[in-house]
Chains A and B, each alone.
Chain A
Amino acid sequence: MNRKNILITGNRKGIGLHLTKYYLDKGHNVFGCSRSETDFEHSNYAHKVCDVGDEKMVKSTVLEMKKKFGTIDVLLNNAGIASLNHSLLTPGSTVEKVFKTNFYGSFYFSRECAKKMMLNKKGRIINFSTVAVPLDLEGEMIYASSKAAVEKMTRILAKELAEYNITVNAIGPTPVYTDLTKVVPKIKMEELIEKQPIKRFGEFNDIENVTDFFINDNSNFITGQIIYLGGL
């Protein structure tokens, strides 16, 4: 098996934790980071406390991963926060907080990892968007806008990094039952599901399927793509 060194941001719980366990089970090395400590342990796993919106912390996290595993083959920019509110009731501080984590965090990690990947002449960056972007959901203006910025970054970075054999793609998951979505009223979630051609919640294995595809060695001709789940 071709063992890869994978960095997963925001992996203390939810999709990030699931992907961490999934890739460790497949025999890869995983380096994770989150805003608080984790009690997760594995012989091929290392963790660092990091606020992804803090540029200095991101740099030291990437450096530590490189020291630990030698190279960074894959970056999964999973860390994200949501904010559900009418735009007229949204304070500026919320906008700043959401963009700091979702957009700045993805940018800082992409930039720092791409610098290491360039030296290795290969790499895979996978960003996380959301179906809220194409659906233009009311009440999710800030969250969807921050993820729309992530999509634009994905497409432009893909062009800028292509010559270094680094691919940059994004997945746009439908709602999956996680801490991020449990605060959303049930009726709202059902309304959202009704807008999808395939009307069901996403499962963790739907996400694995797409990240596996982007990571696969045979996907070296796939870059700048956003794959939405659920038929959007």
Chain B
Amino acid sequence: MNIEKANIKKVIQSLLKEYCDDKEIEIPKIDDETRLIGSNALFDSLGLVGFIVELEEKIEEIYSVEIEIADEKAMSRFKSPFINIDSLSEFLVGKINES
């Protein structure tokens, strides 16, 4: 599979907006630097779990690939892929294209 990073980014951004609207999480703007975890982030750890599960489902629906986003590889990285939208997109492109 050969997925472009820009496409994945769009998927993440659109799902993030949907997810935050649903959970009534206030979000000023969504861009590459939008923090997902850490200080001033959108989610606490439980919120991130819920978002990741929905993202896995969305990717499966769109690309018909089954991936585990929070696998050992993701969790053991020196720089977490969950820091912001850009790093998550980069990580997901690799995962999907490998599958």
Contacts and interface: CB of A to CB of B under 8 A. Distances in A.
Contact of A59 (B50, B54, B57, B66): B66
Given A59-B66, A118-B50, 6 more contacts: A115-B56, A115-B57, A119-B53, A119-B54, A163-B46, A164-B50
Interface residues of A, number: 7
Interface in B6-50: 46, 50
B70 to A, nearest CB: 12
Contact of B53 (A59, A63, A115, A163): A115
State which size class the interface on B falls in.
under 10
Nearest to B53: A115
Contacts of B56: 115
The 4 closest A-B pairs by CB, nearest first: A115-B53, A118-B53, A119-B57, A118-B50
The B interface is mostly helix, strand or loop, or mixed, namely: helix
Interface in B44-68: 46, 50, 53-54, 56-57, 66
The A interface is mostly helix, strand or loop, or mixed, namely: helix
Interface of B: 46, 50, 53-54, 56-57, 66
Contacts of A163: 46
Contacts of A59: 66
Nearest to B46: A163
Nearest to B47: A163
Contacts of A119: 53-54, 57
A118 B23 CA distance: 13
Interface in A96-145: 115, 118-119
Nearest to B54: A119
A135 B59 CA distance: 47
Contacts of A118: 50, 53-54
13 contacts: A59-B66, A63-B66, A115-B53, A115-B56, A115-B57, A118-B50, A118-B53, A118-B54, A119-B53, A119-B54, A119-B57, A163-B46, A164-B50
A98 B53 CA distance: 29
Contacts of B50: 118, 164
Contacts of A63: 66
Nearest to A116: B57
B58 to A, nearest CB: 10
A164 B53 CA distance: 12
A151 B66 CA distance: 29
B6 to A, nearest CB: 26
Contacts of B53: 115, 118-119
Nearest to A163: B46
A59 B57 CA distance: 12
